[in-house]
Amino acid sequence: MAQTLPNNLEAFWMPFTANRQFKANPRILVGAKDMHYTSQDGRQILDGTAGLWAVNAGHCREKIVKAVQSQVAEMEYAPSFQMGHPSAFEFAARLVNLLPGDLNHAFFTNSGSESVDTALKIALAYHRAKGEGSRTRLIGRSKGYHGVGFGGIAVGGMVNNRKFYGAYMPGVDHLPHTLNIQEAAFSRGQPAWGTHLADALEDIVQLHDASTIAAVIVEPVAGSAGVIVPPKGYLERLRQICDKYGILLIFDEVITGFGRLGRGFAADYFGVVPDLMTVAKGLTNATVPAGAVFARKGIYDAFMNGPEQIIELFHGYTYSGHPVAMAAGLATLDVYQEEGLFERAAELAPYWENAWHSLKGLRNVIDIRNLGLMGCVELDPVPGKPTTRGYDVFTRAFQKGVLVRYSGDTIATSPPLIVSKQQIDQIVGTVEESIKEAA
Ligand code: PXG
């Protein structure tokens, strides 16, 4: 059903978008079902990115739509401060059942950025509650993306997300990122090179002393920076060093959570349980904005010690545990489970890997990286004009009916987990054609 384009695109200041470039040549989506968007000019666009790494069960799934419709009609909102409503407790209980280890508690937020800031605050307050208030330093990683709050950009490592915003938060150090095209280009899955990079945490401890360090936050697989897969043994080593020094390990699973790697969470996939985990996106299949932080039992318990009439954590959002988000989330979990979508992603992962790596040798392709149903192709930048080749490939693919993400000269993909092999071929084939045609 074609809809008319509003005749003025000026008022909406678009996020993470070259506004003038977009408004001169807009790409407008007006409908969505399963694996496809409908564009404003009436074309079916195969969704190679699950929206923004989020719509893991596919678009407009009937069960989720109905759950949202009925919740919004029954009780559209109820507070979670000093009040409760059943679906928030039910959703939290079902979520923690899915999680590895003793990640037994869920704190609800509205986005990945809020989840990150929440997790950092819990980490700081936890040490204080344990009588170790000197542990205030936070460690992120170069090329990390942890959303756009001041906490998230402080621990994040993407320079354009940081350099405009002053001094953000003090007391933050960064581990080196693990991308090394010279050593590990075209690795299938986890690269063999780079485990030693985790030892940089030891160096930071030697510099500042463990007694000053609260937490380390990393994406198990970096998404936004272009599918940077951890070297074999790297996350295990980070876990060991954190344990040795009493430092909390936070996994930011906003992208890797909910089946992206073919298991519930990256923590399951890698067999490494963090102390805190942040999620959003796939939590509600992106139907309603929502995020969460999961905490291990010992962390929650550390807060439950003072007088019972005192609020244990002075933190929360008007919309924490919003009933419509909880309804969407419960229905989303049903769909994931009834359709075995995490297992489906695991079954498709080898096919996905082969499809992407078939592009090795194509002109201008300098690396291909993949894990689970995440994949990316790194292009050699046009000399003196970084990002133009990535944009060229992205717009050509869109014209050919496939939505991919481009970030600089990296083309990234992460389809809904309901993708078929034929659709994988269409995504990869379209990217191939677009790379061949692009300057
Ligand atoms: N952590 C991670 C690991 C993320 O990927 C956030 C936190 C922030 O989530 P919110 O909900 O506040 O946006 C993210 C978000 C992209 C892209 O294509 C990635 C994200 C968002 C938009 C675009 O790289 N990730």
| Model pLDDT for residues 366-419, shown as the tens digit of each residue | 999 999 999 999 999 999 999 999 999 999 999 999 999 999 999 999 999 999
| Burial (CB count <10 Å: 0-12, 13-18, 19+), residue 40 | middle
Of ligand 1's listed atoms, the one at least distance from the Cα of 225 is 24
Q: Which two tokens stand for residue 342?
A: 């995490």
Taking 80 as the threshold, does the pLDDT of residue 6 lie above it? no
Q: Which atom of ligand 1 is nearest to the CA of 115?
A: 7
Region 150-166 average pLDDT:
96
Is the domain spanning 65-338 CATH 2.60.120.200? The answer is no
How close is the Cα of 254 to the center of ligand 1, in Å? 7
CATH of domain 19-57+340-437: 3.90.1150.10
pLDDT of residue 167: 86
Residue entry with tokens 């790409």: 27
Do the domains spanning 19-57+340-437 and 65-338 agree at the CATH topology level?
Answer: no
Specify the pTM. Answer: 0.98
Ligand 1 within 6 A of CB of 280: yes
DSSP-assigned beta bridge partners for residue 107: 293
So what's the pLDDT on residue 439? 83
Over the chain, what is the mean pLDDT? 97
* Mutation test residue for ligand 1: of 224, 260, 284, 394, the one with most atoms within 8 Å of CB: 224
State in Å: Cα 147 to ligand 1 middle. 6
Q: Tens of pLDDT along 68-101?
A: 999 999 999 999 999 999 999 999 999 999 999 9
Mean pLDDT score, 233-261 = 98
Q: How far is the CA of 309 from the centre of ligand 1 (A)?
A: 37
pLDDT beyond 80 at 425: yes
Residue 423's pLDDT band, with cuts at 50, 70 and 90, is: very high
Identify the band that residue 1 occupies on the pLDDT scale cut at 50, 70 and 90. Answer: very low
Q: Average pLDDT for residues 186-199, to the nearest whole number?
A: 98
Per-residue DSSP letter, 380? P
d(CA 345, ligand 1 centre) in Å:
21
**Residue nearest atom 16 of ligand 1, based on CA coordinates:** 224
Contacts of 213 (CB under 8 A, 6+ apart): 135, 137, 139, 204, 205, 245, 247
pLDDT number for residue 5:
61
Domain edges within the chain: 19-57+340-437, 65-338
Can you tell me the mean pLDDT for 227-256?
98
Give pLDDT, residue 181: 96
pLDDT at 261 over 60: yes
Portion of the chain with pLDDT greater than 70, in percent = 98
